[in-house]
């Protein structure tokens, strides 16, 4: 499945969340990641992030797409082209 993950996390925990997300997804903006993952990898990603965040102050949003058939992506401005997926 294809996912887009965004987060709003305290500066204290931001670097840990960034490292976790980079293990599974491509980093496309400061707190935005995207990529294709299996259900098992998504579960691991969620579990790792759940152990880092403060549930009362931090937020993670994950958008899941079964198919990209009817989707399109347009980037206006610079585009980060690094791929951090292992």
Contacts for 82 with CB less than 8 Å, ≥ 6 apart = 26, 27
User: pLDDT for 6-61, tens place per residue?
Assistant: 999 999 999 999 999 999 999 998 999 999 999 999 999 999 999 999 999 999 99
Strand 2-8 with 26-29, pairing: unpaired
């Amino acid at each position: 499945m294809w996912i887009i993950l965004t987060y709003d996390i305290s500066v204290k925990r931001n670097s840990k969340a960034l490292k976790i997300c980079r293990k599974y997804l491509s980093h496309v903006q400061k707190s935005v990641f995207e990529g294709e993952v299996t259900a098992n990898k998504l579960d691991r990603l969620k579990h790792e992030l759940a152990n880092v965040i403060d549930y009362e102050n931090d937020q993670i949003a994950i958008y899941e797409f079964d198919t990209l058939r009817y989707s399109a992506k347009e980037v206006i401005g610079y585009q980060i082209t690094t791929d951090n997926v292992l």
